[in-house]
Amino acid sequence: MNSMIYLDNQATTRLDPLVLEAMLPFLKDDYANASSASHDAGLRAAEAVEKARCQTARLIGAQPSEVFFTSGATESNNTVLKGLWECRRAERSHIITQATEHSSVLAAARFLENHGVRLTVLPVDGEGRVNPGDVHSAITDETFLISIMLANNEVGTIQPASEIGRIAKQAGVFFHADASQAAGKIPLNVQELQADLLSWTAHKMYGPKGIGALYVRREKPHVRLQPLLHGGEQERGLRSGTLNVPGIVGFGKASEIAEAVLEDEQRRVRSLREKLFKGLCERLDFTRLNGHSTHRLPGNLNLSFAGIEAEAVLDEIRGEIALSASSACSSGSGGASHVLQAMNVPSGYLHQALRFGIGRFTTAEEIDAVLERLTEVIARQRKSSPFYPPDAAL
């Protein structure tokens, strides 16, 4: 990994050394169970958990009592959809989401659909944004949840979440946002979003894997969820299981760092993204930007290069540059990205998309090296391609 250029920061991020430093005492010496209140070691662990709860809550503008720790955003998303349905199924049975959601939302929604829930999956435009007007039109007297991700994991498009939150509030419908890609990368405040529920995870923001969180609004309105797991009273009964104290501590530290560096990091990462984008477009024609040109995550760049196969490029640069051809959660499935399909990306650009994830530890020198190497690989592969130059327009 030391010699490889890592540009897959939408899939996961490197653990920040300061986060590791904060975690180590709870992996070595302060290893007690946070539920063990009968001795000082357990109390120290519990105090560390509550400190981290405050740190993570502050990042999203929530109260600490509204933050519950989970194993990650997939669990948080499933808890929202299934747990809310269990509480509301006697009254309402309709969910609204959109076509480019993460699979953990879409699959959970399809599961509920098979159990009697009516599901509306809204289309997105060519840049990956859902129309708030479509959200408003889809609401019925049976709607109990609108679940729209804040930022897309493949193309980086940021949704008009605040407007959707306002629509949901006016209609008396709960609004959930999957903020896995957004938390720690762009300013995020649940009050401004008018979100009732929000999912996010540590490993997308330079924290450890295996730890996530769920924000559940307590007032105006008070949101009730049925737990997915039973067998303990951890997390006030919403999420049973021994707390991952080192992971939680790392999540808290990662949140603290993200809050402190957010503005400067946004500016630096966006500058590197623009350098990469401009350089590739200057060197390679028939390069298509996927996603919104301005409403996108600072470190995300998703490009399709006509006349190549993304997987063939990845095979050639394996061990040199870490990129992905689609979401890491579905990579290897063999099919075209459901996100690009929902955006009606032309067929000649569906399997030609590469996702670049620029992050905290990416350097300008690495971007220069990627520009040189990718230009060489793509230009050579195009020479033997029967599909270059393409007939279809960008």
Question: Considering 54, 87, 281, 329, which one is annotated as catalytic?
Answer: 329
> How do strand 94-98 and strand 143-147 relate by DSSP bridges?
parallel
Of residues 184, 153, 187, 161, the one with CA closest to residue 302: 153
Per-residue buried b or exposed e for 5-19, using 16+ beta carbons within 10 Å of the residue's own CB:
bbbbbbbbbebbeeb
Cβ atoms of 367 and 272 closer than 8 Å: yes
Of residues 366, 277, 282, the one with CA closest to residue 2: 366
Rounded to an integer, what distance in angstroms lies between the CA atom of residue 315 and that of residue 303?
A: 17
Rounded to an integer, what distance in angstroms lies between the CA atom of residue 388 and that of residue 394?
A: 13
Cβ count within 10 A of residue 380: 12
Sign of CA dihedral 226, 228, 232, 238: negative
As a dihedral over the C-alpha atoms of residue 42, residue 43, residue 45, residue 46, rounded to 10 degrees, the angle is 120
331-339's contacts with Cβ under 8 Å and 24+ in sequence apart are 337/154, 338/99, 338/100, 338/106, 339/100, 339/128, 339/152, 339/154, 339/155
Rounded to an integer, what distance in angstroms lies between the CA atom of residue 250 and that of residue 180?
A: 16
Sign of CA dihedral 232, 234, 239, 242: negative
Of residues 126, 120, 22, 182, the one with CA closest to residue 349: 126
Question: In the annotation, is 87 catalytic?
Answer: no
Rounded to an integer, what distance in angstroms lies between the CA atom of residue 199 and that of residue 217?
A: 12
List the catalytic residues: 329
